[in-house]
Amino acid sequence: MDNIIRCQWCVGNAVYEKYHDEEWGVAVYDDQRLFELLILETFQAGLSWIIILKKREHFREGFDHFDYRKIAQYGETKIQELMQNPGIVRHQLKIRSTVSNAAAFMKVQEEFGSFSNYIWRYTNGIPIVNHPKTVKDIASTSTLSDSISKDLKKRGFKFVGSTVVYAYMQAIGIVEEHIENCWKIKNNLGL
C-alpha cells in the first residue's frame, strides 16, 4: 500500500500503519476483543500507543490471551509474575486494575447480556463518523467519553478516564475518525 494517504499520526511506522489500516475505527462487537482493547488502552494511559502495540503479543501471552474469566481469578502469585515480565508494561496499579476490571467486565455482561450490548447502546449500535481535516482536529475527549468514563468508574473499572475511553471508542469503532483525505475514508465510502 505504498503511495497512499493515511492519517498523519501513523505515517512512517509499520506497526502504526498496520494498526491504522486493519483495526483503528473498525467496529468491534466481540466481547473478547472488546476486553483486550480496553485493557490495552488502560495500559496506554500516560504512555505512547506505539509502546503498547509493540508489546501487544507479550500482553496476550502474559494475560492468558485476555481471557477475562481467568484474569478475574488472578492472585498475588500471578500479579508478581506479571510484575517480573519484561515484555509488558510493569505498572503494578495497572496490572492490579486489569484483574478488577475483568471482574467488573463480567458484571456488565451479566447485566446487559454482553459488554458489546453495554458499550454500543451509547450510540444505538451506530458508529459516530467524523472526518477531521487534520490530525490536530481529532478530539481526545467528548461529552460521550465523559459519560462512559463516569459510568465505568461507577461500575468499578479503573484507569478509564475520559481520554482513555475516547481512545477506546476509536479503537473499537464507536468513533471512526480518519482524516478526510485518508484512504480508509475513501475506501469506506466506495470512492
CA dihedral 139, 141, 144, 150 (to 10 degrees): 170
Which distant-in-sequence residues (6+ apart) come within 8 Å of 139 by Cβ?
A: 130, 166, 177
In the set 16, 24, 36, 41, the catalytic residue is 41
pLDDT by position in tens, the chain (length 191): 456 899 999 999 999 999 999 999 999 999 999 999 999 999 999 999 999 999 999 999 999 999 999 999 999 999 999 999 999 999 999 999 999 999 999 999 999 999 999 999 999 999 999 889 988 898 899 999 999 999 999 999 999 999 999 999 999 999 999 998 999 886 655 44
Give catalytic status of residue 41 as yes or no. Answer: yes
Give catalytic status of residue 19 as yes or no. Answer: yes
In the set 49, 74, 118, 166, the catalytic residue is 49
Round to whole Å and give the CA distance between 109 and 155: 12
Q: Which three cell numbers stand for residue 55?
A: 508489546
CA dihedral 71, 73, 31, 14 (to 10 degrees): 0
Helix (H) or strand (E) holding 38: helix 31-44
Which distant-in-sequence residues (6+ apart) come within 8 Å of 14 by Cβ?
A: none
Round to whole Å and give the CA distance between 25 and 185: 10
Helix axes 162-171, 31-44, angle to 10 degrees: 140
In the set 16, 19, 68, 166, the catalytic residue is 19
